[in-house]
Amino acid sequence: MTATTFGWLILAFPLAGAILTGLTYKLTKPETAGWIATGAIGLAFASAVAAAVDLLGKPGSERVIPDTLYDYGGAAEIPFDLGILVDPLSIFMALVVSGVSTMIHVYSVGYMGTDEGYHRYFAYLNFFVFSMLLLVLAGNFVLLIVGWAFVGYASYALVSFWYRRTTATNAGMKAFVINVIGDIGLVFAAILIIQQLGATEYLTVFETAPEVFDSDEWTIVAICLLLMVGAFAKSAQLPLHTWLPDAMEGPTPVSSLIHAATMVTAGVYLIARAHPLFELAPTAANIAAGIGAATLFIAATIAIAVKDLKRIIAYSTMSQVGYMIMGVSIGAYGAGLFHLMSHAFFKALLFMAAGSVISAMANFQNIDKMGGFRKALPFTFLLMTIGALALAAFPGTSGFFSKDEILGYAIERGGWYWACAIAGYAGAFITAFYSFRIVFRVFYGEPCKEAKELEGGHLAHHEPVNPHTFEPEDTDVGFPGKVHHIAERTWPMAVGMAVLGFGALFGGYIQVPGIDATLENWFEPVFEASPLYAIVPPVGQAWLGLAVGSLISILGVSLAYYLYIVAPGSTDRIRERFSRTHQVLFNKYYFDELQDALVVRPVQAVGRFANDVVERVVVQGVVNVVREGVVAVGGAVRTAQSGFVRSYALLVIAGFVALALYFLIAAA
C-alpha cells in the first residue's frame, strides 16, 4: 500500500465514522457510538503514521506525491480534479490533527457521556475531522476551498451544539458569518489564480507562478492578500477575530479540538502551503507578519483582564496563532509548524483541564468564583500546570523550543523583523504571566464552595442555568446533560489528558538547536525551493535566544506568583489604579462594538430599506398590479357568463353575423 492509498484512507475513515455514527443513532448505545467514532479517528491516525513511514522510506525528492481519484475534466472551465497531495507538510498536519483528535475523542467519551445529543456530537466531530483532513490533504485550491467550507460548517454545528441556548446559537452564527467572509477572500484568490495561471493544482501553480509574476507585482500581492483574508478569518487574527471568544459557547472538547488545535491552524497551514506565492509578494507577507505580531500582543493583553476561564484560554489561542502566522510569514516555516504542533498539545490539554474544572464548578466559568481546587482536583491540577508551563514556554517544555525558534529566526532575518521579535518576547512575558494567572487563581487560595464540597467527595450540583445570562434551562437534548464529569472520576478524560500532557512536556525534544533537527529535515522536500527556508540561525545564536526566552518565561511566572500567592489582593489594587486601561482590556478593545457599528448596523439598515421599500412597494406593487389586472379581466369576462340562454343565443347570432360579414368582404 502506497502513501497515497494511505492518504485516501486518512480521509475515508473519519467520513465513514461520521456517517455511521450519524445514521445509526437510534441503534447504538451512546458509549458504543463514542468508541466507534474514536476508532474511526484512531484508524485515520494509523493511516497517517503508515503514510509517514512510507514517505520516510523514499528518498527526499520523491516525497511529494500528488494523486487523483477522479478527474472532472475541466467542468465549468475550471481545471481541477478530486486529487490529494501527499507530502511531508500534509502528512505532518494529518498526524497532528488526527493524533490530537483521537485524544479529544477519548476525552469526549467521558465528558459528554450523559449529554442527550451524544450521537449527534460524535457524528459532527468526526465530520469536522474529515473536513480538516480534507483541507490539509487537498491537492488543489478548489478542494481546499471545499474542505475550508466544510470546516466552517462543522465549527458552526459544534459551537451551537447546545442549540436551545440562544447565546450558543448566536455565537455559532457569528462564527459562521465571519468564516464566510474568509471563504469569499479565498474564492476570489482562487479565481485570480485561475485567471492568471490557468490551473488550480498546487504543484502546477507553484511551478508556474515565478515565471508569470514579477516580485511584488500587484496581481500576486492581491492574490496573497485575499488568501490572507481567508487565513485570518479562520485563524482568528485581527480584525476578523471576534468570533473566537464567543465560540467558547460550545462544549469544552469542541473548543479543545477546533479552536485550539486544528481549525484555527488552517490559516497557518495555508500560508505555509502557498509559500511560493507569498515569497513572490513580500509586501503581503510583511503585512501578514505585522498583523500576526499585533494580534499576538493585543490578544495577550486582553487575556490578563477577562474573567471567563475558557475565554482566557481562547485569547491565548489567538495570541499563539499570531506567533505561528508571524512565523510562517517571515519564512520560518519549520519553526511555525513546530509551534503549531506543540501548541496543539498544550492548548488542547489546557482546554481539557478547564473542562474538568468547569464540571467541578457545575458548569460555571467565572474565575472569580473559583479557588483552591488543588486538593480536590489533584490530577487536573497537575496537568493544567503542565499545560501552563508549556504555554509559558518554560525551559524544557515543547512550547519553549518552538516559540523561541520562531523568535530566533526573526532576529536572524534582521531589519524590521527585529520589531516582530521584540513584540514576540513582550508577548511571551505576558503569556507566561496569564498562564499562571489561570493556575494560581483556580487552584490556589482559599477553597471555594464547590472545592470544599468536592474535597468532601461530593460533586457540586445546582439547577441548570446559562452560565452567562443565568436563564434557567433543563437538561434535555439541546442543553448540557445532567451529570458533570471530572477527570479524577472519568478515566477516558484522564487518558486523553495524560497523553497530551506527555506530548506537551517532551514533544519539544525533537527539534533542539544543534542536537537534532527532525522537523527541518522532514519538511525539506516541501520547502527546498525557498531561499528563506535555507536561512538557519547559527547554533550559538539560537542558544542565546533560548536563554533570553527562559529568562522572560521565568520572570513572567514569578510575577504571577508574586501577585497571586505572595501578595494576594494586589491585582485588585492594580486594577483600580489603572481602571481606564483595565476597562479597555476587559472590553476587548471594543472590537465587537466597532464591528457592530461599521458592518452590522449598516447591513441591517440596508435590509430594512430593502424590506420596506423594495420588497413592499416595488415587488409587491408589481405583483399586485398583475393580480388586479387578472382579476379585472376575469371580472370582465365573467359578465359574459350571465346564465341567460337568450344572451348565449344572441352571441351565436352575432357570431354568425360577423362570420358572414367576413366572408362577404373576402369574396368582394
Partner 1 sequence: MVQVAFFAGAVGALGGAIAVIALRNPFYSVLALVVHLVALAGLFLLLHAEFIAAAQIVVYAGAVMVLYVFVAAYVGNVDEPLWEPIPGQRIIAPLLGLALFVELSIAVLGSALKAIETRGPELENSFGSPEAIGELLLEEFLIAFEAASMLLLLAAVGAVVLAAKRRDEEGERA
Partner 2 sequence: MDISWYLVLSALMFAVGAVGVLIRRSPLVILLCLEIMLNSANLAFLAFARSLGNADGQIMALMVMVVAACEVVVGLGLIVAMYRRRLPLDVDEARGLRG
Residues that bind partner 2 (CB under 8 A): 638, 641-646, 649-650, 653
Q: Which does 462 bind (CB under 5 to 8 A by kind): partner 1, partner 2, none?
A: none
How many CB atoms sit inside 10 A of residue 608's CB?
10
Q: Which does 645 bind (CB under 5 to 8 A by kind): partner 1, partner 2, none?
A: partner 2
Closer of 603 and 659 to partner 1 (Cβ): 659
C-alpha cell belonging to residue 625:
398590479
Closer of 470 and 644 to partner 2 (Cβ): 644
CA atoms of 354 and 383, how far apart (whole Å): 10
Selected from 594, 597, 630, 657, the binder of partner 1 by CB under 8 A is 657
Query: Do 339 and 320 form a contact (C-beta atoms < 8 A)?
Result: yes
Least distance (Å) from partner 2 to the CB of residue 626? Answer: 23
653 binds partner 1 (CB under 8 A): yes
How many CB atoms sit inside 10 A of residue 599's CB?
12
Q: Which does 660 bind (CB under 5 to 8 A by kind): partner 1, partner 2, none?
A: partner 1
How many CB atoms sit inside 10 A of residue 187's CB?
17
Torsion (CA) 521, 523, 528, 529 in degrees, nearest 10: -170
Query: Do 125 and 51 form a contact (C-beta atoms < 8 A)?
Result: no
Q: Which does 56 bind (CB under 5 to 8 A by kind): partner 1, partner 2, none?
A: none
Least distance (Å) from partner 1 to the CB of residue 644? Answer: 5
664 binds partner 1 (CB under 8 A): yes
Candidate segments 120-128, 168-176, 460-468, 657-665, binder of partner 1 by CB under 8 A: 657-665
CA atoms of 505 and 626, how far apart (whole Å): 74
Q: Which does 641 bind (CB under 5 to 8 A by kind): partner 2, partner 1, none?
A: partner 2
Closer of 470 and 644 to partner 1 (Cβ): 644
Closer of 645 and 666 to partner 2 (Cβ): 645
Give the helix ranges, DSSP H, for 483-517.
491-506
Query: Do 38 and 102 form a contact (C-beta atoms < 8 A)?
Result: yes
Closer of 26 and 638 to partner 2 (Cβ): 638
Least distance (Å) from partner 1 to the CB of residue 668? Answer: 8
Residue 319, C-beta contacts closer than 8 angstroms, at least 6 positions apart: 295, 296, 297, 299, 300, 303, 427, 431
> In the window 367-396, what residues touch partner 1 (CB under 8 A)?
none
Q: Which does 661 bind (CB under 5 to 8 A by kind): partner 2, partner 1, none?
A: partner 1
Least distance (Å) from partner 2 to the CB of residue 641? Answer: 6
CA atoms of 159 and 152, how far apart (whole Å): 11
CB-neighbour burial class of residue 498 (10 A; exposed 0-12, middle 13-18, buried 19+): middle
DSSP states of 205-264: HHHHHHHH--TT-HHHHHHHHHHHHHHHHHHT-TTS-THHHHGGGS-HHHHHIIIIISGG
Least distance (Å) from partner 2 to the CB of residue 648? Answer: 8
> In the window 591-650, what residues touch partner 1 (CB under 8 A)?
642, 644, 646-647, 650
Closer of 56 and 653 to partner 2 (Cβ): 653
- Which residues on neighbouring strands pair with residue 81, listed in sequence order? 71
Least distance (Å) from partner 2 to the CB of residue 628? Answer: 20
Give the residue from 222, 250, 232, 216 showing the smallest Cα distance to 120.
250
Q: Which does 638 bind (CB under 5 to 8 A by kind): partner 2, partner 1, none?
A: partner 2
660 binds partner 1 (CB under 8 A): yes
Closer of 27 and 666 to partner 1 (Cβ): 666
Q: Which does 594 bind (CB under 5 to 8 A by kind): partner 1, partner 2, none?
A: none
User: What is the 3 state secondary structure string of 347-397?
Assistant: HHHHHHHHHHHHHHCCCCCEHHHCCCCCCCCHHHHHHHHHHHHHHCCCCCC
> In the window 195-234, what residues touch partner 1 (CB under 8 A)?
none
Closer of 27 and 645 to partner 2 (Cβ): 645
Closer of 606 and 650 to partner 1 (Cβ): 650
C-alpha to C-alpha distances, 420 to 294, 327, 338, nearest whole angstrom? 9, 10, 18
Closer of 61 and 641 to partner 2 (Cβ): 641
Q: Which does 664 bind (CB under 5 to 8 A by kind): partner 1, partner 2, none?
A: partner 1
How many of the chain's residues bind partner 1 (CB under 8 A)?
12
> In the window 72-91, what residues touch partner 1 (CB under 8 A)?
none
Least distance (Å) from partner 2 to the CB of residue 652? Answer: 9
CA atoms of 22 and 484, how far apart (whole Å): 24
Q: Which does 633 bind (CB under 5 to 8 A by kind): partner 1, partner 2, none?
A: none
CA atoms of 554 and 162, how far apart (whole Å): 40
- Report the run of H or E that residue 106 belongs to, with start and end: helix 88-111
Q: Report how far apart the first and last C-alpha atoms of the chain are (Å, whole number).
A: 94
Selected from 565, 594, 610, 654, the binder of partner 1 by CB under 8 A is 654
C-alpha cell belonging to residue 382:
497537575
CA atoms of 231 and 238, how far apart (whole Å): 11
Q: Please identify which residue in the block is written with the cell numbers 515543547.
A: 398
Q: Please identify which residue in the block is written with the cell numbers 464540571.
A: 359
Closer of 419 and 657 to partner 2 (Cβ): 657
Q: Which does 419 bind (CB under 5 to 8 A by kind): partner 2, partner 1, none?
A: none
Q: Which does 643 bind (CB under 5 to 8 A by kind): partner 1, partner 2, none?
A: partner 2
Least distance (Å) from partner 2 to the CB of residue 642? Answer: 6
φ, ψ for residue 216 (rounded to 5)? 65, 25
Q: Which x/- pattern, by CB under 8 A, does the window 330-369 give for partner 1?
A: ----------------------------------------
Quick one: CA dihedral 15, 18, 22, 28, positive or negative?
Answer: positive
Binding site for partner 1 (CB under 8 A): 642, 644, 646-647, 650, 653-654, 656-657, 660-661, 664
